[in-house]
Structure 1
Amino acid sequence: MRRIVKTSLAAGCFAAGLAAAVVHQGAAPPAPVASPDAIALAPPGAAAVVAPSSADAWGGPRSGNEPTLSDRVVRYEIEATLDPKQHTVTGKEKLTWRNRSQQPVKSVYLHLYMNAFEGEQSTFFTEMRNEAAAFRSGVDIKDGEWGHIALSQVAQGGAKVPWTFVHPDNGPATDHTVVRFDLPQAVAPGASTTLDIDFLTQLPRVIARTGYFDSFHLVGQWFPKIGVLELPGERGATAPRWNAHEFHLYSEFYADFGSYDVKISAPKDYVVGAVGELQGAPVEKNGMLTHHYVQDDVHDFAWTADKNSGAPLEDTWTNPGSPQVKLRVLYPKEYVASAAPALKAAKDSLTYFSNTLGPYPYKTLTVVIPPHNATEAGGMEYPTFFTAEGYAKVEPGTLTADMLDFVTIHEFGHGYFYGILASNEFEEPMLDEGLNEYWDMRMMRDQNRPIHATTPLLKALGFAPKFKVFDYERGGSAREEPADPLGQHAWDRLQTIGPVYTRTATVMRDLEEKVGKPAMERAFKEYYRRWKFRHPSSADLRETLAEVTGQRDVVEQAFALHVYSANKVDDRLTSLTSVEQAPQPGTAEVGGKWVETTGKDADKKAEAAHEAWKKAHPKAKSGGPYPFLTTVTVRHYAAIVPQTLLVKFDDGSSETVQWTANERFHKFTWLKPAKAVSAELDPKGLYYIDASRLDNSRTLKADGSAAHRWGFDFAALAQLILSLIATV
């Protein structure tokens, strides 16, 4: 999902104190009824995992020699019919699920995500009411525009299955986004069962991720989807447990890998796109076309239908190690100018991610640009399918072009971090949104794609500032007062979800600077190789980075400071002096007698020495008859982190020292024949997460070249301005 943009100036740009902590309101949930098999649910406070998963978690690493890309746990066969006037989807679902555990399973948990939109009483809307600023663009659902998913029949082998709504996160009793099925026949260890489910999904007017506007339909999280049964040694589990959370305002999704066989019936004048590969030409019947899509080794399925689409833009892409990929861009006619740039950004992303992480394993990629008034369907990801943003005009070197480029890259990147790596976005959103944001910024940096803070009009007037992408990212990373650990779950965050994107990207960028870019890339390639088609945790990422980079202390410190807790980094160079050690007034014992040197005597002696030295060194531009005592004072105002101090002198020499002691301040001194010119903490920029880089350096004389340092903190203001522009 693209980052959430706040439109209130007071809210800032993901700044500290953005919103009050989420408090569930409404009726208290009923006391939970224990499931017949006593398999627990993941607790509501579940967040970043500390203990690494076992080596054989999720069946162990996929070597490529297995018959399937993933260990397919579930299979969905769905027949869906769209009524574009009522904005409903009538569905018949055959869900086949395999019990991976060593004990019989008598109850299963499913997500009914669309019920988040059934009314103000859901967990989603309850949390939205507690926000200090509008969610995303602030579009509201009006009367008659709500959505829901209704179960009309559930059966196992012909026997009816009773169901009960549950509240794993202690949300309001009126939330219906998680349901428990108590099975007539228990599923034995290693066995599979099939559930036949008839349902009706009423799409809402699109306000977040899914829904309709006019003839446009983005159908996501629309069918009953089973939760994940985690086993001991997987993501910190010590016993079998169901992982199924309510649909929160800022949370996204988590599901098992499997196969999808979906038939979509829509009016024949509607352009349809979906996850996976189309199986032959659509079949026409009674004015409807049935589109048959199949995709294995994914964990979700979404689709779109619109009668006002332009002719799809199509292309292919090839790269060593990947199959040939068929690309398709679906767009509304008013945004035809955005289709080709989105296609190019998608192809560029395929190449970059395949080369730097690992091959793209699928044969299709569909990009959907929502129409005007349906922008809240934009910036959303599904396997082999994502939505971008659209503009009527796209002029290179302007903000709109950059936003189109960035959102396309970002949503494609989710295909790796959300799609193939399949982390738990409820409990550890950092592993998707954060790591994806970091890799997107990396791509844009490596390909010299800056952020242009201008519009076509301002550009024509000569106002065209631009920012390096990590400077821009740093601006929104909650440096001053970080409140939430990066590894915190997606809800109950004081500063909401924004810093998960920006702060994670900045922390990972800093880690890259410390361990080296090649080492970081090797580590992420190994992370992808080791954990693709599984479900890694924060601890699994930590262990992979530590092992491959060979710098465990550096990696573990970054995780301790920022992933498992929220620490401010604020290092400052508080003073710089460089004083010539000329004769000083006072008394001294000489030959048994005390002799006084007056201030006047000392000045005369120093003056004579300077004149003599200048005569002896007529071309010297620095130095003198006496050495200089240089003193630099540095302080840790927050977390204590290793630092580097660089001091430059007027003879061209320099001194570099490492400050690693566990202390709040230190005074470094040098006695040298040259006078200091400047001093700088963190000269290589290892800590972009530092609250302010303006206080990291000093010069003894005014130095205009130091003005570039303002760019680092000016980016914070610039990001706010750009975000506001992007919402209009």
Structure 2
Amino acid sequence: MLPRFRFRLALAAVLLLAGAVFAAPASDGIALAPPDAAAVRVPSSPDAWGGPRTGREPTLSDRVVHYDIAATLDPVKHTVAGRERLTWRNRSNVAVSRVYLHLYMNAFENAGSTYFTERRTRDGTFRSGVDIKDAWGHIALRRVAQGSAGVPWTFVHPDNGPATDHTVVRFDLPQAVAPGASTTLDIDFVTQLPRVVARAGYFGTFHLVAQWFPKIGVLELPGERGATSPRWNVHEYHLNSEFYADFGSYDVKLTVPRGYTVGATGEPQGAPVDKDGMRTWRFAQGDVHDFAWTADNQTARPLVDTWSGPGSPTVTVTVLYPPEFAASAAPALKAAKESLTYFSNTLGPYPYRTLTIVIPPYNAEEAGGMEYPTFFTAEAYRTVEPRTVNQFALAFVTIHEFGHGYFYGLLASNEFEEPLLDEGLNEYWDNRMMRDQGQLAYIATPLLARLGFAPGYPTFDAERTATPRHDPADPPGANAWHRLQDIGPVYTRTAILMRDLEARIGRAPMERAFKEYYRRWKFRHPSTADLRETLAEVTGQRAVIEDAFERQVYAVSRVDDSIADLASTELVPLPGAHESQSAVDKRIDAARAAWRKTHPDGTGPYPYRTDVTVRRHGAPVPQTLVVKFADGSSETARWDANERWHTFTWTKPAKAVSAELDPQRLHYLDVNKLDDSRTLAPDARASHRWGFEFAAVVNYLLALIATL
């Protein structure tokens, strides 16, 4: 055994060579984004991220980073050995001596990572909640150099996560990067893929390789997303967070055994090269902020087609799928091409030449439904029949993952801090596309559909059902990980809020505003405040937009208006000191008999007083109240006051029939639409409809049993 002091010296030398740091160099004074960062309230400066892209620049984006990577897959060990040359430009006006990188795959390194800690302590699951068992994943740095000098590194915890989390690393540079200058880092690494979990990994011969390489964080400058001084925006890999990165260019060589089909971000560069039983593919893509790929030797012959649209290059669309899910390939291709058309027409042109869709094989569903630039994964079904839940789910997920190519890809929002700008807005636009195409959310299994029971619902109605309305806890503008009700309401509540704004403002103004949002902020990382300002400016409805964002984005407020009471009383003469009740009754009967002789319309000689009391149990929203009367007339009232209740009164010749709040159904955030209306007479139409539907199913089942 070594003496203690010699042991410490030896251990320090070993750890220093391995990259760990004992004495950190002096700080360059650049802070990290705070761990509680969320939706930004202050608009970015007009020249943020270099200002709006005009199309006259030499590149689509202001490329901050270039990755040159050579990677080799070992499909037996499920490892990727990589050599990465990372060239990064310092956009700030201060020298940078420390840079921060994400090692996302370390989220699956051990049960003490931030990801697994949150999964365990919050009793949460991700998607199916698959158990990783002993098939852990990680990314190991083998060498980091700046020129000829070695670069020491240490793991840091920007969000105050556990010390056992290794998803963010700091490189202490031997040579500081001057303002406006660039530096190149050479990084050797080995990534161990986990069994498919949380978007990436392997199952059998299938490999979905995502978040697999050392990836530099974002240095934000004053005036960008609320920053007042240069700051590094890097966050740990949380259970529910996704990603944020600078735009750049990628040149990636992928070496896999011959016989493996490869799909990846970007465009193939020539034919693959074969050597020693291995095949090397080269893919390149500029103006993106991530790179993912897949390799499998069980893939069926790819389905390939092209798409073209105004302002876009011709796009090669490729579907990679396993034989067992061949039925999903053509529907996924169809949905992808329709999405290219819709998003290009309603937001802006798709600027890339490729789009690759991956349908994962059986037992790899955790890899499905995830987006990367020019590359996404879809759902997988053995049968895809009309008017079934399979058909709807495959179409919706394909549209959704393609849509991320705009909100996550081209707009490149910060998904850690402002997930509503990606998941929420994308969910809104996906539902919008399905609504405009007349597509319904079907819930029937193939068997029920064949039996004739295939109810479908407008997708926004299904979205409304899925969002917490009675007791919402988390503002859509909260960050991805600090949430009581998990990440789901970011999707659903944001989509419904935007749908409600569209219903109030109008479809055309809303679409113009989103087109301008895309034009103004593509390739520029907008914030929530930038979205708010664009919507307010273009729609001309600043008060409406600002009120909605204040109540329902930066905060969360229950919306719950109802009709508390409906009464319609005939104003007949009343007895008193000079006339008894019997005398009054005789006078009333005589007047009614005389009236009927000349008025066969069902009204009477006496008017009716109608009182409608409305109640408010949440935030105020502008309401319309419509009251219908027996003579076919109606009355409309506006209720815009910030008050808990109000009684509206009319005196008319006819008795009221019904009263309804929000007849145009502008407010899907409302807790309960069933209490928005009342009738004086019972109305059994809804129960009759569902009774008939149920009876039809029973009859079909009985007929089926009788034939067995």
What's the TM-score, normalizing by structure 1?
Answer: 0.91
Counterpart CA distance in 2 for 1:51 and 1:605 is 71
Answering whether residue 227 of structure 2 is matched by residue 237 of structure 1, we say yes
Residue of structure 2 equivalent to 1:347: 337
Residue of structure 2 equivalent to 1:57: 48
Contact in 2 for aligned 1:329/1:369 (Cα 8 Å):
yes
Aligned with 2:585 (options 590, 603, 614): 603
Counterpart CA distance in 1 for 2:548 and 2:123 is 30
Residue of structure 1 equivalent to 2:595: 613
Answering whether residue 485 of structure 2 is matched by residue 495 of structure 1, we say yes
Q: How does 1:358-369 map to 2 (within 5 A)?
A: 358-369=348-359
Counterpart CA distance in 2 for 1:599 and 1:419 is 79
Q: How does 1:191-202 map to 2 (within 5 A)?
A: 191-202=181-192
Answering whether residue 398 of structure 2 is matched by residue 398 of structure 1, we say no
Shift of 1:131: 3.2
Residue of structure 2 equivalent to 1:46: 37
Structure with the bigger RCO (C-alpha within 8 Å, sep 6+) is 1
Shift of 1:602: 1.7
Contact in 1 for aligned 2:126/2:240 (Cα 8 Å):
no
Contact in 1 for aligned 2:407/2:421 (Cα 8 Å):
yes
Shift of 1:460: 2.1
Answering whether residue 284 of structure 2 is matched by residue 302 of structure 1, we say no
Counterpart CA distance in 2 for 1:708 and 1:167 is 59
What's the CA shift string for 1:20-79, capped at 9, x where partnerless? Answer: xxxxxxxxxx99979620100000000000111111110111111111100000000000
Counterpart CA distance in 1 for 2:455 and 2:525 is 41
Answering whether residue 439 of structure 2 is matched by residue 459 of structure 1, we say no
Shift of 1:705: 4.7
Q: Output the amino acid matched with 1:562.
A: Q
3-state SS, counterpart of residue 651 of structure 2: strand
What's the CA shift string for 1:525-562, capped at 9, x where partnerless? Answer: 00000000110011111111111111111111211111
Counterpart CA distance in 1 for 2:690 and 2:673 is 8
Residues 214 and 233 of structure 1: is their aligned pair in 2 closer, same or farther, counting only changes over 3 Å? same
Contact in 1 for aligned 2:118/2:124 (Cα 8 Å):
no
- 5+ residue gaps in structure 1? 1-29, 588-595, 712-728
Contact in 2 for aligned 1:429/1:490 (Cα 8 Å):
yes
Shift of 1:461: 2.2
Q: How does 1:201-240 map to 2 (within 5 A)?
A: 201-240=191-230
Counterpart CA distance in 1 for 2:123 and 2:576 is 66
Aligned with 1:473 (options 457, 463, 471): 463
Residue of structure 2 equivalent to 1:631: 611
3-state SS, counterpart of residue 695 of structure 1: helix
Counterpart CA distance in 1 for 2:559 and 2:23 is 43
Shift of 1:132: 3.3
Residues 710 and 188 of structure 1: is their aligned pair in 2 closer, same or farther, counting only changes over 3 Å? farther
Counterpart CA distance in 2 for 1:505 and 1:422 is 18
Residue of structure 2 equivalent to 1:434: 424
- Stretch of structure 1 that moved more, 449-458 or 433-442: 449-458
For the aligned residue pairs, the C-alpha RMSD in angstroms reads 1.7
Contact in 2 for aligned 1:36/1:182 (Cα 8 Å):
no
Residues 47 and 708 of structure 1: is their aligned pair in 2 closer, same or farther, counting only changes over 3 Å? farther
Shift of 1:566: 1.3
Residue of structure 1 equivalent to 2:171: 181
Answering whether residue 680 of structure 2 is matched by residue 700 of structure 1, we say yes
Counterpart CA distance in 1 for 2:656 and 2:551 is 34
Aligned with 2:552 (options 553, 562, 566): 562
3-state SS, counterpart of residue 690 of structure 1: coil
Answering whether residue 109 of structure 2 is matched by residue 129 of structure 1, we say no
Residues 298 and 578 of structure 1: is their aligned pair in 2 closer, same or farther, counting only changes over 3 Å? same
Counterpart CA distance in 2 for 1:578 and 1:369 is 60
Contact in 1 for aligned 2:428/2:498 (Cα 8 Å):
yes
Residues 193 and 686 of structure 1: is their aligned pair in 2 closer, same or farther, counting only changes over 3 Å? same
Residue of structure 2 equivalent to 1:97: 88
- 5+ residue gaps in structure 2? 1-20, 692-708
Counterpart CA distance in 1 for 2:651 and 2:412 is 57
3-state SS, counterpart of residue 558 of structure 1: helix
Residues 346 and 700 of structure 1: is their aligned pair in 2 closer, same or farther, counting only changes over 3 Å? same
What's the TM-score, normalizing by structure 2?
Answer: 0.93
What's the CA shift string for 1:211-237, capped at 9, x where partnerless? Answer: 000000000000000000001110011
3-state SS, counterpart of residue 245 of structure 1: coil
Contact in 2 for aligned 1:48/1:489 (Cα 8 Å):
yes
Answering whether residue 66 of structure 2 is matched by residue 75 of structure 1, we say yes
What's the CA shift string for 1:490-535, capped at 9, x where partnerless? Answer: 0020000001111111111111000001111001000000000110
Shift of 1:708: 10
Answering whether residue 668 of structure 2 is matched by residue 682 of structure 1, we say no
Shift of 1:401: 1.1
Contact in 1 for aligned 2:65/2:86 (Cα 8 Å):
yes
Counterpart CA distance in 2 for 1:31 and 1:616 is 103
Residue of structure 1 equivalent to 2:701: none
Contact in 1 for aligned 2:420/2:491 (Cα 8 Å):
yes
Residues 199 and 607 of structure 1: is their aligned pair in 2 closer, same or farther, counting only changes over 3 Å? same
3-state SS, counterpart of residue 263 of structure 2: strand
Counterpart CA distance in 1 for 2:685 and 2:570 is 26
Aligned with 1:117 (options 108, 127, 146): 108
Contact in 2 for aligned 1:694/1:710 (Cα 8 Å):
no
Counterpart CA distance in 1 for 2:628 and 2:24 is 70
Contact in 1 for aligned 2:24/2:172 (Cα 8 Å):
no
Residue of structure 1 equivalent to 2:373: 383
Q: How does 1:158-177 map to 2 (within 5 A)?
A: 158-177=148-167
Residue of structure 2 equivalent to 1:447: 437
Counterpart CA distance in 1 for 2:90 and 2:58 is 20
Q: Output the amino acid matched with 1:611.
A: A
Shift of 1:462: 2.4
Shift of 1:707: 6.2
Counterpart CA distance in 2 for 1:438 and 1:710 is 29
3-state SS, counterpart of residue 327 of structure 1: strand
Shift of 1:458: 1.1
Counterpart CA distance in 1 for 2:56 and 2:688 is 53
Residues 513 and 35 of structure 1: is their aligned pair in 2 closer, same or farther, counting only changes over 3 Å? farther
Answering whether residue 649 of structure 2 is matched by residue 669 of structure 1, we say yes
What's the CA shift string for 1:222-258, capped at 9, x where partnerless? Answer: 0000000001110011111000000000000000000
Shift of 1:375: 0.4
Counterpart CA distance in 1 for 2:546 and 2:23 is 38
Contact in 2 for aligned 1:569/1:689 (Cα 8 Å):
yes
Q: Output the amino acid matched with 1:660.
A: D
Counterpart CA distance in 1 for 2:320 and 2:204 is 16
Residues 571 and 33 of structure 1: is their aligned pair in 2 closer, same or farther, counting only changes over 3 Å? farther
Counterpart CA distance in 2 for 1:439 and 1:251 is 21
Residues 38 and 31 of structure 1: is their aligned pair in 2 closer, same or farther, counting only changes over 3 Å? farther
Counterpart CA distance in 1 for 2:283 and 2:497 is 40
Residue of structure 2 equivalent to 1:13: none
Residues 708 and 69 of structure 1: is their aligned pair in 2 closer, same or farther, counting only changes over 3 Å? farther
3-state SS, counterpart of residue 475 of structure 1: helix
Residue of structure 2 equivalent to 1:648: 628
Shift of 1:392: 1.2
3-state SS, counterpart of residue 280 of structure 1: coil
- Stretch of structure 1 that moved more, 127-136 or 84-93: 127-136
3-state SS, counterpart of residue 498 of structure 2: helix
Residues 640 and 33 of structure 1: is their aligned pair in 2 closer, same or farther, counting only changes over 3 Å? farther
Shift of 1:671: 0.8
Residues 544 and 321 of structure 1: is their aligned pair in 2 closer, same or farther, counting only changes over 3 Å? same
Residue of structure 2 equivalent to 1:416: 406
